[in-house]
Structure 1
Amino acid sequence: MSTVSNIVPFKSGGHIVETACRSLAVAASGLNALEAQFAERDFAGAFLRLIGLIMNVRGRLIVTGIGKSGIVARKMTATLTSTGTPAIFLHPADAGHGDLGMVTPADLVLMLSHSGESTELGPIIQYCKRFAIPLAAMTAQSNSTIAQAADISILMPPVQEACPNSLAPTTSTTVQMAFGDALAVSLMEMRGFSADDFHKFHPNGRLGAQLVKVRELMASGDDIPKVRGDATLLEATIEMTRGRLGGTAIVDNHERLIGAFTDGDLRRTLTAKQNLTESIGQFMTVTPLSVGPDELASEALRRMHDSSVMLFFVCEDERLIGAVHMHDLLEAGVA
């Protein structure tokens, strides 16, 4: 038997879509209100002080919250950690059972509570005061216990919840989440956090693959198929077969790339019944496409598609240092 006391009659599809759009409009109004807060001198000043504290903290940023604010705090922690700010999430329920021991005077505590009166946060506030640990608060109530206890108080704008009963945290948590992202992005810019740094924290999965550089996937050393400019067509063909990359580089005496010979070139040459003892210089492509070792593999793959080629030679300061095949990029998950 259903536990719902009042069963609402089935509404039309159009009505349901209107409800969904209305909730999004309410959420958007909350985000607009948050953006407007940054134009307020006190809010902007508190935000800048928080940025300064986080940048200068010797330990970690401890993010905490209970209920829906706790879920937002977890997400905020994950975003900060992956973008260069050492952060951990502290569950208030566990704090009073030993986990307060992870908080040190070198840390900074950031506490999320929409009402500012979550009793579960009390032990953390007391601990911060006892051991002089800096405390920052994110709350919508300026006169709340948490706001009054904090060294820095970030006051969220008053917003209307999208819930028809104005009870379920909806818009308020959306605003909290957006503020967390704004905080993380601001810290990224302050730290000069680059794509290289991002890759260090995201080595696996599709995201990591998009940040891999050519240097990490290229063949190098003896695995690079190459011959000198005075090699014969036969020698180039043998070297291309040995390399198993579908082509060979042609280099001068200083290892500079001067040409390329691919299996497509070989097919066209054999169709014309050329003498295999002739110089490869007659058959090579004299303007071969190349790529730098520090170029993103995803960009190299895009260039391969645009140029309809399967193989790039890798050059640094005009010298041949590697070769990368499209299959190597695809096998590594680059897309």
Structure 2
Amino acid sequence: MNIIKNIKSSAIKVLKTEAQALENLAELVDDDFEACVANILETKGRVVITGVGKSAIIANKIVATLNSTGTPSLFMHAADAIHGDLGMIQKEDFVICLSKSGNTPEVKVLVPMLKKMGSKLAALVSNTDSYLAKQADFVLNATIQEEACPLNLAPTTSTTAHLALGDALAVCLLEARGFGSQDFARFHPGGSLGKQLYLTVEDLVAKDLVPVVNQEAPLTTVILEISGKRLGATAVLNDGGKLTGIVTDGDLRRMLERHPDLSDITAKDIMTKNPKTIDKNEYAVKALNLMREFNITQLVALDGEKIFGFIHIHDLMKEGIV
């Protein structure tokens, strides 16, 4: 039991240490950070991010975030750079070098080469007195008080700080570029996230299955329409073809409980008036939100005022949007 307690207390201490470091990091965002963002926006090349060890791993993640939010970027390992990979850098590129100490041997070899190439250099460091920081055009200050590691050795708090500062950089660039959900969708077409951003109601509606009945239709016609189209509901239209209601399987069950004599029942007697609708051009995720808001499982899709079809919760589940 004491071991379990120690595990919990250690985990809590790590999280609090790193959370405090991020709070402190907010106070270190300065004019250099702002100038760095402005220069990246003006650059005609790409953002090249480099580092070694754990910094290289964080650099890879920042590259992925930048690429997905409209800033073309690539990763270059600092050790590989001095063995040939420098060829990937062009003069117009903007280079960001990640290093906790700013004094690693690979960085000391790489920096003079970058400066000779004429590339702008930003140092994302936890040591602003380091060689890297003094040589860089811009310093992104990620100073920390201590690592979460009890030995104060393993990169923990420092990598969290570097990652968070990279996220801040990406979001600032995103906002400055006016990068919106449509842009995001172009770069994220796969998975449930992408589908939420580009799939519309029209994409999911079964266009050849549009159950409709006239409001004067007898009960047998309503039942046959619901069972024949297999969508669990039918739209109810007036003589002018305008949507006036919806009849669902549930409406039929409730009607059977209330009406012992079914001979004179018509669609308008059992329909739910003013059903929830959605335009066919709306995003499918909005249909999901409406279903959740009103605790229903389907919506009538409209093309203007004309009925287009039905979208069901199962359609959303099948696409992985739910």
- Scaled to the shorter chain, the TM-score interval is 0.7 to 0.9
CA distance in structure 2 between the aligned counterparts of 1:173 and 1:293, rounded to whole angstroms: 46
Give the structure-2-normalised TM-score: 0.83
Aligned to 1:287: 274
Deviation of the 1:327 alpha carbon? 1.3
Write the deviation string for residues 273-332 of structure 1: whole angstroms up to 9, x where unpaired: 5348x7533443221111244555445335435544332112354333332111111222
Q: Does 1:30 align with 2:16?
A: no
Deviation of the 1:240 alpha carbon? 2.9
Aligned to 2:42: 56
Q: In the alignment, residue 246 of structure 2 is paired with which amino acid?
A: A
Aligned to 2:243: 257
Cα pair 2:279 2:304 within 8 Å, conserved: no
Pair 256,109 (structure 1): closer, same or farther in 2 beyond 3 Å: farther
Pair 144,186 (structure 1): closer, same or farther in 2 beyond 3 Å: same
Q: Which stretches in structure 2 are left out of the alignment for 5+ residues?
A: none
CA distance in structure 2 between the aligned counterparts of 1:176 and 1:136, rounded to whole angstroms: 13
May I ask how many residue pairs the two structures share in their alignment?
320
CA distance in structure 1 between the aligned counterparts of 2:117 and 2:321, rounded to whole angstroms: 49
4+ aligned runs moved over 6 Å, structure 1: none
CA distance in structure 2 between the aligned counterparts of 1:285 and 1:133, rounded to whole angstroms: 67
CA distance in structure 2 between the aligned counterparts of 1:230 and 1:190, rounded to whole angstroms: 58
Aligned to 2:262: 274
Q: CA RMSD in A?
A: 3.1
Q: Does 1:201 align with 2:192?
A: no
Pair 170,279 (structure 1): closer, same or farther in 2 beyond 3 Å: closer
Give the structure-1-normalised TM-score: 0.81
Deviation of the 1:59 alpha carbon? 2.8
Moved more, 259-268 or 57-66: 259-268
Q: In the alignment, residue 14 of structure 2 is paired with which amino acid?
A: S
Determine helix, strand or coil for the equivalent of 2:273: coil
Cα pair 1:314 1:320 within 8 Å, conserved: yes
Determine helix, strand or coil for the equivalent of 1:160: coil
Q: In the alignment, residue 211 of structure 2 is paired with which amino acid?
A: P
Aligned to 1:180: 166
Q: Does 1:192 align with 2:217?
A: no
CA distance in structure 2 between the aligned counterparts of 1:106 and 1:234, rounded to whole angstroms: 73
CA distance in structure 1 between the aligned counterparts of 2:125 and 2:202, rounded to whole angstroms: 46
Deviation of the 1:253 alpha carbon? 7.1
CA distance in structure 1 between the aligned counterparts of 2:260 and 2:160, rounded to whole angstroms: 68
Aligned to 1:331: 318
CA distance in structure 1 between the aligned counterparts of 2:44 and 2:120, rounded to whole angstroms: 12
Cα pair 1:26 1:171 within 8 Å, conserved: yes
Cα pair 2:192 2:319 within 8 Å, conserved: no
CA distance in structure 1 between the aligned counterparts of 2:116 and 2:210, rounded to whole angstroms: 64
Aligned to 2:118: 132
Deviation of the 1:176 alpha carbon? 0.9
Work out which of the residue numbers 243, 263, 280 in structure 1 matches 2:229. Answer: 243
Work out which of the residue numbers 120, 128, 135 in structure 2 matches 1:149. Answer: 135
Pair 247,202 (structure 1): closer, same or farther in 2 beyond 3 Å: same
CA distance in structure 1 between the aligned counterparts of 2:9 and 2:270, rounded to whole angstroms: 67
Q: In the alignment, residue 52 of structure 2 is paired with which amino acid?
A: I
Determine helix, strand or coil for the equivalent of 1:258: strand
Deviation of the 1:236 alpha carbon? 4.1
CA distance in structure 2 between the aligned counterparts of 1:94 and 1:56, rounded to whole angstroms: 28
Cα pair 2:298 2:311 within 8 Å, conserved: yes
Work out which of the residue numbers 200, 205, 209 in structure 2 matches 1:223. Answer: 209
